[in-house]
Amino acid sequence: MTASFIPPKRILMGPGPSDVPQRVLEAMARPTIGHLDPAFVTLMEEIKAMLRMAFKTENALTFPVSAPGSAGMEMCFVNLVEPGDKVIVCRNGVFGGRMLENVKRTGGVPVMVDDAWGAPVSPDKVREAFKANPDAKVLAFVHAETSTGAQSDAATLAKIAQEYGALTIMDCVTSLGGTPIHLDAWGIDAAYSGSQKCLSCTPGLSPVSFSQKAIDKIQSRKTAVQSWFLDLNLVLGYWQSAGKRTYHHTAPINPMYGLHEALVILEEEGLENAWARHRAMREKLKAGLEALGLKYVVEESARLPQLNSVYVPEGVDDAAVRAKLLADFNLEIGAGLGDMAGKIWRIGLMGYSAKQENVDYCLNALKACLK
């Protein structure tokens, strides 16, 4: 007989999931209702409105995909890219590479703009890519690279795309709620995020938002969207507010309760206050990390407050330290991905984890493990 699973109580300071407030956990445990229940429609409408607040957008088509951020990414690409469409893909870490994979699988023609891991995307290179490919239909970039902790200048990148009449797809999985995003002011056409980063909900949902220009492209496609589950033409009927909702799939009811509560908490704090808290906590963490002699991977000007990548000091065993942090301190920090595996640590200050107690605890634990 299998016993019930009682998870250890961790302090989550990796690249996500982040610590989940008790209020969100309790919301997850409220009684399940049907996905066609009138009360669920109310829940959906409130989630959509609060996501618009978080994204700083008026986009009607703003909602959580019923699956993790990878599915949100795929929704953007399979709907906005048709076979033969040229897509300029900026790659400065793991998730830009995943965008390339998505473009290939839609039959799009990728044009790569590569920057070093840890560097932000270079607007100059993007401009060059558009000059060489003025027929590019889409620009895709990662706002906050979760694999390195680098932040790119989304406003400038989106502006270049607009000059060439291209749509913009932005990955903001790690930025939403933690560092400024202005979807409408920047003119982003499609954005996807995750529930488990700076929103401090449990993983499994991917907030997305699409501009009218994006919808126009989707509705004028010549080919069918290759995914049934992610086809916005079908999902639109499910998530639309006006008139009769059509059944598409069964939404994950209880995780929606959790996301709703996480957004209520964000609304209570105020989005700008949340951004400021992330910055403030990051200053404290930075001072402590530097006192420990740790060096940042990313240049100061491009550092994300919510994800601090530092080099593993020479002679220190990456895996052993992380194992000790977990075993002795119940503290999770992130390892490096891809080329940076074994070389860096990624210390998250996301959402509910961005607080003084966590900063102090993490610095003390690191100090003990680096002795």
> In the window 315-334, what residues touch a second copy (CB under 8 A)?
326, 332
What single letter denotes the amino acid at residue 246? T
Judged by CB under 8 A, which stretch of 60-68, 152-160, 178-186, 301-309 contacts a second copy?
Answer: 60-68
Respond yes or no on whether the N-terminal peptide bond of residue 17 is cis (omega within 30° of 0).
Answer: yes
Judged by CB under 8 A, which stretch of 11-19, 151-159, 183-191, 278-286 contacts a second copy?
Answer: 11-19
Nearer Cβ to a second copy, position 51 or 161?
Answer: 51
Judged by CB under 8 A, which stretch of 56-64, 128-136, 203-211, 359-367 contacts a second copy?
Answer: 203-211
What single letter denotes the amino acid at residue 115? D
Letters for 13-52 (x = contact with a second copy by CB under 8 A, - = none) are -x-xx-xx--x-xxxxxxxxxxxxxxxx-xx--x--xx--
Mapped onto helix, strand or coil, the DSSP state of residue 117 is coil
Identify residues 204-223 at the interface with a second copy (CB under 8 A).
204-205
Contact pick of 41, 185, 224, 316 for a second copy (by CB under 8 A): 224
Identify residues 234-293 at the interface with a second copy (CB under 8 A).
247-255, 257-258, 260-261, 263-264, 267-268
- Output the smallest distance, CB 106 to a second copy, in A: 8
Q: Which two tokens stand for residue 165?
A: 């009449």
Alpha-carbon distance 289 to 359, whole Å?
A: 10
Within a 10 A sphere around the Cβ of 293, how many other Cβ atoms?
Answer: 9
Judged by CB under 8 A, which stretch of 102-110, 290-298, 300-308, 313-321 contacts a second copy?
Answer: 102-110
Contact pick of 123, 203, 288, 313 for a second copy (by CB under 8 A): 203
Nearer Cβ to a second copy, position 150 or 256?
Answer: 256
- Output the smallest distance, CB 202 to a second copy, in A: 4
The footprint of a second copy on this chain (CB under 8 A) covers a number of residues equal to 86
Nearer Cβ to a second copy, position 69 or 120?
Answer: 69
- Output the smallest distance, CB 268 to a second copy, in A: 7
Radius of gyration of the chain, Cα coordinates, nearest whole angstrom: 21
In which residue are the tokens 């119940």 written?
330
Nearer Cβ to a second copy, position 65 or 158?
Answer: 65
Judged by CB under 8 A, which stretch of 68-76, 117-125, 209-217, 295-303 contacts a second copy?
Answer: 68-76
* DSSP secondary structure of 138-149: EEEEESEETTTT
Q: Which two tokens stand for residue 326?
A: 């977990």
Determine, following the binding rule CB under 8 A, whether residue 227 of this chain makes contact with a second copy.
yes
Query: What's 201's DSSP letter?
Result: P
Alpha-carbon distance 226 to 239, whole Å?
A: 20
Contact pick of 59, 174, 196, 308 for a second copy (by CB under 8 A): 196
Strand spans (E) along the chain:
11-13, 61-65, 86-91, 109-114, 138-142, 144-145, 150-151, 167-171, 190-192, 206-210, 307-311, 331-335, 344-348
**At a CB cut-off of 8 Å and minimum separation 6, what does 32 contact?**
253, 254
Identify residues 294-313 at the interface with a second copy (CB under 8 A).
none
- Output the smallest distance, CB 297 to a second copy, in A: 18
Judged by CB under 8 A, which stretch of 117-125, 155-163, 195-203, 213-221 contacts a second copy?
Answer: 195-203
CA angle 170, 174, 180 (to 5 degrees): 75
Determine, following the binding rule CB under 8 A, whether residue 4 of this chain makes contact with a second copy.
yes
Q: Which two tokens stand for residue 101?
A: 């994979």
Alpha-carbon distance 240 to 61, whole Å?
A: 8
* DSSP secondary structure of 249-291: S---HHHHHHHHHHHHHHHHH-HHHHHHHHHHHHHHHHHHHHH
